[in-house]
Amino acid sequence: MPTQDRLINRELGILEFNRRVLAQAEDLTTPLLERLRFLCITSSNMDEFFEVRVSGLKEQIEIAPGQRGPDGLTPRQVYAMITETAHQIVARQYEVLNREVLPALAAEGIRFFRRTHWTDEQAEWIRNFFFSDLMPVLTPIGLDPSHPFPNVLNKSLNFAVELSGKDAFGRNSSHAVVQAPRVLPRVIQLPPEIAGCDYGFVFLSSILHAHVGELFSGMEVLGCYQFRVTRNSELFVDDEENKNLREQLAGELPQRHFGNAVRLEVADNCSAEMRNFLLQQFHLNEKDLYQVRGPVNLVRLMNVPDVVERPDLKFPPFSAALPSQLLKQPDLFKAAVKGDILLHHPYQSFQPVMDFLHQASVDTQVLAIKLTVYRTGTESELMQHLIAAAQNGKEVTAVVELRARFDEEANINWAERLEKAGAHVVYGVVGYKTHAKLALVVRRENGKIRRYAHLGTGNYHPRTARLYTDFGLITSNPALCEDVNEVFTQLTGLGRAKTHHHLWQAPFTLHPHIMAAIQGEAERARKGEKAHIIAKMNALLEPRVINALYEASQAGVHIDLIVRGVCALRPGIAGLSDNIRVRSLLGRFLEHHRVFYFRNGGAEDVYLASADWMDRNFFRRIETGFPVLDPKLKRRVINESLKASLKDNVKAWEMQSDGSYRRRARRGKPFEAQTFLLQALSN
């Protein structure tokens, strides 16, 4: 089989993932307000797809149009294929919204009022709202030789207006643009007595449509059309010329809002003349146009489920539990000395991680704290603990990744605050993103130094710890802590990489170890021994790993891959991947942890990692994979993450050899992994 036929295109794989996310909104067993939320998540995912993947593809078309990727496709071929699929997904989104979700919400007393259906009382309230809250912050821009088309912000809500007549200065302009400031809410809640139902909402776009004439006194409004442009949001950082990464990124951030346009969204009522005018302004073609039946940005509905107090229409609430060790011994240091502590988020609380750093920040025996920061949020109690530790005289070192996409500004702000508090702040290694999730605490106990470490598969972000499935390990194992310390030494100092006791580290040993483990299973299979690989991750793209898996399959290794997102490997092809099954799990929580299992002759090696099996993770990032050494905790990981995922017959999708997915056929009693873990681990 030709090399290109052995791999699925990455961009098409991402769109297939978004189809599966959209399927959660289509699923009638998903609570109604959660169906709305999944529509918003799909929309947000598609935004990022255009901002990053499509924008990169367009650059490839300009720079190297004939260059073929690992899948054998040229950029133009990929662009044509993803455009067709993206239009299908967007059309289906709005079909689900208009035909299913909105009518079902209305039946529950949650209504979105179109301007053609306002009552007189509603129209009066909305008119007053327009004049008091909206009109003072709106700036209409008439287009003429002295007022060129404005530089529209990325993903901002705008209105293109067609006009007739002359203004106060005698100008005869037929076009104008009204930009909706980002300070304005995109969805306005009506008082119940005005709405006539428990929860009534009206879109900002509807209010502006109804009253746009007030902005152009004496002129006739022939048409008003909402539009939204998506731009290239990648930041350019020249590693060779860079002298101060923080200053260079801070200078680049404002430009993110004004990158090259890659997509234009307009409402279905937009005239052909205006569509063509807007496409011309943004240098786009018809394939880049998405004309939708409804709001041009469904993400604006994301807060509605939070506003509506209807628990019966949402996922049941739960309380994350604490591991049994911490119920008996709340002191993290004393508990970790007795044995490793495994945390399975969100079923188990993220609070022990916060407590770990809080205790370290106030403990007089703690000498130093070191932490990697990739994503932590604009408001972070965890970062406050680091600041407090520095102010308390601890040696605090924070390795802050400034190039964490879409979190650059928050990380720059935290870096500045940490430095002001006296912490050592470094930005990793030029040319490599620091994506490892590591914390180290150095403590003096009875005259001797003892280290404690936290290693995780997810970010130090309390909010995502309630939404993403991840593992964290708190340990005082001397060898593992020494490995973590060595990683920090590499990141903050200079010198050659040393051999670790337990850690697999990218860009040095992670890829070779993964390859060796796969090949080891293949050798055992050739000898007639049992051989099994189970790997759970977000994405699988790296060609050499994929080829090693193909070879292992041909050797007789049983391979189960649980890949939430994009997978370039083709399963189930005779003579190539007969023994490989690929499944994807989507549910209430985002499956985020990376877990690698190798049977290894019965030793059952289990590694947790910050890295997916992608080129960037193996070769352009600093990542770690760490073993679960405690037999009981290892069994927990196997049962809770791997076996439960493989048993799921409710939320599981099975990948076909052509890259499409089908819901797993349900045989026997229904089993949903996330529901099972909620019942087994949470309160």
**Residues acting as catalytic residues:** 435
CA torsion through residues 378, 383, 387, 388, sign: positive
> How, if at all, do strands 289-292 and 261-267 pair?
parallel
Instruction: Take residue 650 and report the two structure tokens written for it.
Output: 């409710």
CA distance linking residue 120 with residue 326, whole number of Å = 60
CA distance linking residue 569 with residue 623, whole number of Å = 22
Instruction: Take residue 649 and report the two structure tokens written for it.
Output: 């017959």
Edge-to-edge, what's the strand order for the sheet holding 139-142? 139-142, 175-179, 158-164, 220-231, 261-267, 289-292
CB 588 within 8 A of CB 676: no
Q: Is 408 helix (H, G, I), strand (E, B) or coil?
A: helix
CB 578 within 8 A of CB 595: no
Instruction: Take residue 159 and report the two structure tokens written for it.
Output: 């209105």
CA distance linking residue 637 with residue 643, whole number of Å = 9
| Residue 432 backbone dihedrals phi, psi, to 5 degrees | -130, 130
Q: C-alpha angle with apex 56: 50 to 58, nearest 5 degrees?
A: 85
Find tokens 């146009």 and name the residue: 289
Q: Is 2 helix (H, G, I), strand (E, B) or coil?
A: coil
Q: How far is CA 24 from the centre of its chain?
A: 17
Strands (DSSP E) along 204-317, which ranges? Answer: 220-231, 261-267, 289-292
The enclosing H or E element of 123 equals helix 120-129
CB 581 within 8 A of CB 642: no
CA nearest neighbour of 501 among 483, 477, 516: 483
Instruction: Take residue 132 and report the two structure tokens written for it.
Output: 């008091």
If phi > 0 it is left, if psi is from -120 to 50 it is alpha, else beta; for residue 420 that is alpha
